[in-house]
Amino acid sequence: MSEIKNEVQGKLIVFSAPSGSGKTTLVRHLLQQPDLNLEFSISATSREKRGNEVNGKDYYYLSLKEFKNRIKNDEFLEWEEVYRDNFYGTLKTEIERIWAKGKHVIFDIDVSGGLRIKRKFPEQTIAIFVKPPDLNELVRRLKERGEESEDKISMRVSKAPAELATAPLFDVIVVNSDLDEAKKNAYKLVSDFIKE
């Protein structure tokens, strides 16, 4: 199977999408449905904490050196250097922690990380790609957030076509043109998958 140590193995629910597609909103919605028995997988990162972020809640913050050591020791299920010296990844211990509670793991993760998890656990994973109706809508949503500079938004938008091109590699695509509809679709997909 894999090198994750746990007798009880739950399901892995992966949500991936370009920034601004609404994946985080859908993941938060699903986490509020007690019947799904989900817990969020907290990623590790080598980047500095921002604002009110909390270690162990938003991310596990590791120094660059510690992150690289953990890569060497094969402690990650998946990892990626997103920007120079800015690493993100999923620690195997995080999956073990959630499975030990008898819960299913839900991820809000970039497309390459999501596909890596699907490759490692093909039977236990549903990989869901959240697609915006179009690129213009994506730009509008990113600007509406008001959280980032124009440069950062441009950088995210420039990555979107490559991310959108990976959509067919996922098990299913949820088009988020109507949020209520997308929430219903996501709930049904996850609910059906965990009952299999």
Q: Is 108 within the bounds of a domain?
A: yes
CATH number at residue 182: 3.40.50.300
Q: Is 3 within the bounds of a domain?
A: no
pLDDT tens for each residue of 86-132: 899 999 999 999 999 999 999 999 899 999 999 999 999 999 999 98
Residues 6+ apart with CB under 8 A from 74: 3
Distance, CA of 44 to CA of 160 (rounded, Å): 23
Q: Range of 119's domain?
A: 12-195
Q: What global pTM score does this model have?
A: 0.89
Identify residue 39 by its one-letter amino acid code: E
Residue among 130, 144, 142 at smallest CA distance from 177 = 130
For residue 194, what are its two tokens?
A: 């965990």
Q: Which of 46-50, 94-98, 145-149, 163-167 has the lowest mean pLDDT?
A: 145-149
